[in-house]
Structure 1
């Protein structure tokens, strides 16, 4: 099947493409269940990594065959996606046999279906520093055919700063979800950089939030499986079965590093970005690390 690169357009106040807006009515009317686990993130912030970690925590022991037969994008399903007429996230989630359902989303908080809040669902949000986010998003857009053509790095960086990205502004996204955390107690906020630094520590915090208590042996097994070199070669996690991606351009799981932005930003770009960042984040209490 051929996929055409989409155009960005303004949708509900953010930049979007048809692959995530065409099923909008069903997305907004989606019926959450009280035990649904929502995995929210801006694109390329560690959402797949977190999805795999949660899948192992909930189903790693009870149904180990999942790990070798079902790709992660069919275990933790993106709510708002509609890639083809038969591939709608909402329908796939309704048919998901597992409980709890692991529900992925890149939606900004203001566009989330009301039923998640009404059902008091647990939400795990993972955030990544802006500089590594834009670099990772750039390489993702280069190889993912259902996202707009990224163009040159310099113009792409400008577009990121202006928020003209699929799913909108990084700044609005992370700050919107951070603000929601202050009023919604069932939201656990994680940082990509903290996960890189000590995945075991961050998994313990996550288990505490979810009320899970894996054994020491199980924790070690999970920590081993979610290492980047393991995930990169795991065909159930690395998205190698997705025809919407061109793996000749880049791998989906690329580096998994903090600080790769230094290999992309020029000195002038970094100075401009820092100035812009300071202005956009001046009223935020969110603190990010750009190196570990």
Structure 2
């Protein structure tokens, strides 16, 4: 494992990360990275586990809280899930059944048990332009993130293979997940698209209920729909339930700035024409041979 620091010629824009076997990892990834990856690959999943898999800023907490409401049969806000990438895995091992936990890691790094179909897996994807904008605001509102700079520099960072959140860039992450799901048909997986969840929230809640094999009472599902609006989740997150000592290193209150706008197409308010053209060119080059169902403009 090596610690990498990158900056522009003026030293005003910079980022840093851990690199292991050519892959980028956030500096909060425990220790030498290798040991965490080893433990997670060998992590013993249970048949009633739900492993939530997302690239950051793709609707993670939105889906997580929906899942928790459906599984618990309550409308309680569950805050932030346990994140296997950055936490002591013993904390997840000790969670009460049924467990729902999160990873942002790319497909080759998820547990072998998940690839064998033992837990249920929910995979969520989102238009990368909105992911980029949401990630910029998210990182810009925290401390000790390993990034300092303006939006233009952040875009260069995001488009590179050094974007450090998942052990892979968004492009590699999506390709590895696409290949992995095709190569492991035995997996129990539900793939969701952020934009579809926005368009048909109730229909997506029904899909989740079916996948999770929970009672599908229409009255309760409608209440879930009301309680997972951005406004309601944002309000709940601003209360003490949104606080956690786990995140004190990136936010003084321990309340990470999860919810912002949640809109589809917000990238149009940030991208210049030149930035959009550049992004499109990089996308076409890197994603050649792959097609995804989310709306990409």
TM-score range, shorter chain: 0.7 to 0.9
Mark the CA change 1:246 to 1:160 in structure 2 (over 3 Å): closer, same or farther.
farther
Which residue number corresponds to residue 289 of structure 2? 283
Equivalent in 94, 104, 107 of residue 106 of structure 1: 104
Which residue number corresponds to residue 85 of structure 1? none
SS of 1:137's equivalent in the other structure is helix
Q: Distance in 2 between matches of 1:41 and 1:279?
A: 23
Deviating above 6 A after TM superposition, structure 1's stretches of 4 or more consecutive aligned residues are: none
Whether 1:174 and 2:200 are equivalent positions in the alignment is no
- CA deviations over 1:161-200 (Å, ceiling 9, x no partner): 1132122210111222223233334111111111111111
Q: Contact (CA 8 Å) 1:77, 1:104: kept in 2 or not?
A: yes
Which residue number corresponds to residue 27 of structure 1? 40
Q: Distance in 2 between matches of 1:209 and 1:133?
A: 26
Q: Distance in 2 between matches of 1:179 and 1:148?
A: 30
Q: Distance in 2 between matches of 1:159 and 1:271?
A: 16
1:267 Cα shift?
0.3
1:216 Cα shift?
0.7
Q: Distance in 2 between matches of 1:172 and 1:285?
A: 13
Equivalent in 81, 89, 109 of residue 86 of structure 2: 81
1:246 Cα shift?
5.9
Whether 1:11 and 2:24 are equivalent positions in the alignment is no
Mark the CA change 1:256 to 1:246 in structure 2 (over 3 Å): closer, same or farther.
farther
Which residue number corresponds to residue 136 of structure 2? 138
Which residue number corresponds to residue 96 of structure 1? 95
Equivalent in 210, 215, 219 of residue 212 of structure 2: 210
Q: Distance in 1 between matches of 2:17 and 2:108?
A: 19
Structure 2: gaps of 5 or more residues: 1-13
Q: Distance in 2 between matches of 1:50 and 1:150?
A: 29
Q: Contact (CA 8 Å) 1:231, 1:237: kept in 2 or not?
A: no
Structure 1: gaps of 5 or more residues: 83-87
For these two proteins, the number of residue pairs brought into alignment is 270
Q: Contact (CA 8 Å) 1:193, 1:289: kept in 2 or not?
A: yes
Q: Distance in 1 between matches of 2:283 and 2:274?
A: 14
Q: Contact (CA 8 Å) 1:28, 1:112: kept in 2 or not?
A: yes
Q: Distance in 2 between matches of 1:274 and 1:154?
A: 15
1:238 Cα shift?
8.1
Q: Distance in 2 between matches of 1:145 and 1:28?
A: 30
Q: Distance in 2 between matches of 1:281 and 1:134?
A: 16
Q: Distance in 1 between matches of 2:15 and 2:157?
A: 16
1:47 Cα shift?
0.9
Report which stretch shifted further, 154-163 or 208-217. Answer: 208-217
SS of 1:19's equivalent in the other structure is coil
**TM-score, length-normalised on structure 2?**
0.83
Q: Which has the higher contact order (CA 8 A, sep 6+)?
A: 1
Q: Contact (CA 8 Å) 1:36, 1:122: kept in 2 or not?
A: yes
Which residue number corresponds to residue 72 of structure 1? 79
Mark the CA change 1:48 to 1:238 in structure 2 (over 3 Å): closer, same or farther.
farther
Mark the CA change 1:29 to 1:181 in structure 2 (over 3 Å): closer, same or farther.
closer
Whether 1:45 and 2:52 are equivalent positions in the alignment is no
Q: Distance in 1 between matches of 2:83 and 2:58?
A: 15
Q: Distance in 1 between matches of 2:265 and 2:273?
A: 14
Q: Distance in 2 between matches of 1:57 and 1:101?
A: 13
**TM-score, length-normalised on structure 1?**
0.84
Report which stretch shifted further, 171-180 or 190-199. Answer: 171-180
Equivalent in 38, 58, 67 of residue 54 of structure 1: 67
1:27 Cα shift?
2.6
Q: Distance in 2 between matches of 1:261 and 1:201?
A: 26
Which residue number corresponds to residue 195 of structure 2? 193
